[in-house]
């Protein structure tokens, strides 16, 4: 049994990917409490797979590939759901999703040149902000009483999410430049 423990982070990551379609189905059917619960569980798998992988050094190539993909799928489809529910404008979601696509392409480009850009604190903060704002918006959508002030606050939080998403991208680029300058 103990020899299989190193698979736990990858199993949690795969679970997160499997939960994405269930999350979308619940959201489209306007079962927001269900969608919220699934999203929170999926977000927690991200937290726990990272903790377990680092603590026990259960880091694998599959995990390096699937973990960021799972995060992008979860956040991307949550943003698409919010467009569908008319919570945020399509262009705002596109700005956030575009950052994720560009960052993925940038990492792939670097990897082909044997350069590995590791996660940094800015990326972790960005992910935490994204997950927190999405959970807050889902919770608000689950509440039957809607308030225009809270709706405005949710929209402002999504603007801040877009800002921090691109700020973290900028920090990755400058981190890469600083590392090259040190060489």
CATH of the domain at 71: 1.20.120.1760
Q: What pLDDT score was predicted for residue 78?
A: 97
In this structure, what token pair is assigned to residue 163? Answer: 């800002």
For the chain, 183 residues long, give each residue's pLDDT as a single digit of tens: 566 677 888 899 999 999 999 999 999 999 999 999 999 999 999 889 888 888 888 777 777 778 888 999 999 999 999 999 999 999 999 999 999 999 888 888 888 888 777 778 888 899 899 999 999 999 999 987 778 898 899 999 999 999 999 999 998 888 766 665 555
Note whether 119 and 170 are within 8 A (CB): no
Handedness of CA 169, 174, 178, 180 (dihedral sign): positive
Note whether 82 and 61 are within 8 A (CB): no
Number of domains present in the structure of the chain: 1
Nearest to 17 by CA among 70, 89, 65: 70
User: Domain range for residue 115?
Assistant: 2-182
171 vs 90: CA distance, rounded Å: 25
Note whether 49 and 9 are within 8 A (CB): yes
Q: What pLDDT score was predicted for residue 4?
A: 66
Q: What pLDDT score was predicted for residue 2?
A: 61
In this structure, what token pair is assigned to residue 79? Answer: 């943003």
């Amino acid at each position: 049994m103990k020899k299989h423990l190193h698979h736990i982070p990858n199993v949690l990551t795969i679970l997160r990917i499997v939960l994405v379609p269930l999350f979308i189905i619940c959201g489209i059917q306007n079962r927001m409490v269900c969608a919220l619960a699934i999203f929170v569980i999926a977000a927690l798998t991200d937290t726990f797979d990272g903790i377990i992988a680092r603590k026990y050094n259960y880091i694998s190539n599959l995990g390096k590939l699937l973990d960021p993909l799972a995060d992008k799928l979860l956040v991307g489809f949550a943003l698409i759901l919010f467009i569908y529910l008319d919570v945020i404008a399509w262009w705002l979601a596109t700005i956030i999703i575009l950052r994720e696509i560009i960052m993925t392409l940038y990492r792939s480009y670097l990897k082909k040149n044997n350069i590995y850009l590791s996660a940094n604190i800015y990326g972790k903060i960005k992910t935490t902000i994204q997950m927190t704002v999405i959970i807050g918006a889902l919770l608000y959508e689950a509440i039957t009483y809607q308030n225009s002030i809270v709706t405005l606050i949710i929209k402002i939080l999504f603007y801040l999410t877009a800002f921090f998403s691109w700020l973290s991208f900028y920090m990755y680029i400058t981190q890469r430049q600083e590392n090259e300058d040190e060489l």
